[in-house]
Chains A and B, each alone.
Chain A
């Protein structure tokens, strides 16, 4: 659904139209839930946060001015709620430090083989730090631009690019390591 259509739904929700909220829910529920649950790894808590996001949309739709894309706005709400959960549980470590890693050029063949195996990719994504993973998930799963990701995560655009650069580097090293281990075993 295009942003103009989503904005039309938000406009109707702002006037109290519950069928528009249903339509928005059906459109945005899965990507939002996926984004939340990837970060929290807790389906029950993630469902609660998802509901809070839609409640915020319900209550705040009348005040939505349309300066952001609807998707960006909703992911921003979800992101802030997840950060609140992390803060309450003292689970948050926001840092852009790049841990020391092997720096030799990964083998392209090994990388391609590894990337094609979803299990390896999932395992390597899970090893990324939250801010790196958020950035790469939003870029490659949600197809957001760096400006949108910056808005969702309240980070400067340059930081978003740097996070993805580091995330990609760590991801490829991880994938190479898993393929090397597979070959050796």
Chain B
């Protein structure tokens, strides 16, 4: 063996040679070292003994079937959230919208962008009457915006305008815009203004 450092490296690998998890290259290296150094072989035998004794200790009394029954009950009460169909689509729309909002906000800050209603058209309606016009507080984070929009099932369909206004549209066409606008107005940490056209 070339150095003490190499020997230390082999010693550190020995437990993993014992449990059989080394790569072929590492295994070859350890076995070559053991062939030259009987003390390494002795240490490996000792570690094998430790491992065997540990694995013989099988006195654990786990929850077993009782635990499984309990788990089943809890799962019945809190069903798994599997995104299917409309929900999945909605998630994509919301994700896209919130990401776009952040990107547009950045462009607006740079002063190189002036939004126009015919620049793009997003997932929801382009009917002005189904929109709420808002402006966000300057210090609001993208995460807060996204969270609030998702909570109220809203998407950004336009904006920012030259003065930083966004048009929001509910995913549910039957949503009560007056009520929704009132709810948004109470979110004073996020919105600076909330108006119905």
Contact = CB atoms under 8 A, between A and B. Distances in A.
B63 A15 contact: no
Contacts of A136: 15
B21 interface: yes
Contacts of A145: 16, 19, 21-22
A16 interface: yes
Contact of A144 (B21, B47, B74): B21
Interface string A4-24: 000000000011101001100
Nearest to B56: A118
B67 interface: yes
B24 interface: no
Contacts of A115: 46, 49-50, 53
Contact residue range for chain A?
Answer: 35 or more
A55 B71 contact: yes
Interface string B105-124: 00000000000000000000
Contacts of B20: 143
Given A16-B82, A58-B80, A115-B49, A51 B11 contact: no
Interface stretch (A79-87, A89-97, A164-172): A164-172
A111 B46 contact: yes
Given A29-B67, A55-B71, A55-B78, A139 B53 contact: no
B47 A30 contact: no
Nearest to B55: A141
Contact of A165 (B12, B18, B19): B12
B35 interface: no
A141 B54 contact: yes
B60 to A, nearest CB: 4
B137 interface: no
Interface in A133-152: 136-137, 139-141, 143-146, 148
Contact of B60 (A34, A58, A148): A34
B13 to A, nearest CB: 7
B62 interface: yes
Given A51-B67, A116-B53, A29 B21 contact: no
Contacts of B61: 43
A165 to B, nearest CB: 5
B67 A121 contact: no
Contacts of A75: none
Contact of B83 (A25, A62, A143): A62
B86 interface: no
B55 A55 contact: no
A148 B55 CA distance: 19
B60 A33 contact: yes
A108 B67 contact: no
A39 to B, nearest CB: 13
Given A30-B60, A144-B21, A55 B74 contact: yes
6 contacts: A21-B75, A34-B60, A47-B63, A115-B46, A143-B19, A145-B22
Interface of B: 11-13, 15-16, 18-22, 42, 46-47, 49-51, 53-57, 60-64, 67-68, 70-72, 74-75, 78, 80-83
Interface of A: 14-16, 18, 21-22, 25-26, 29-30, 33-34, 37, 43, 47, 50-51, 54-55, 58-59, 61-62, 108, 111-112, 115-116, 118, 121-122, 125, 136-137, 139-141, 143-146, 148, 161-162, 164-165, 168, 171-172
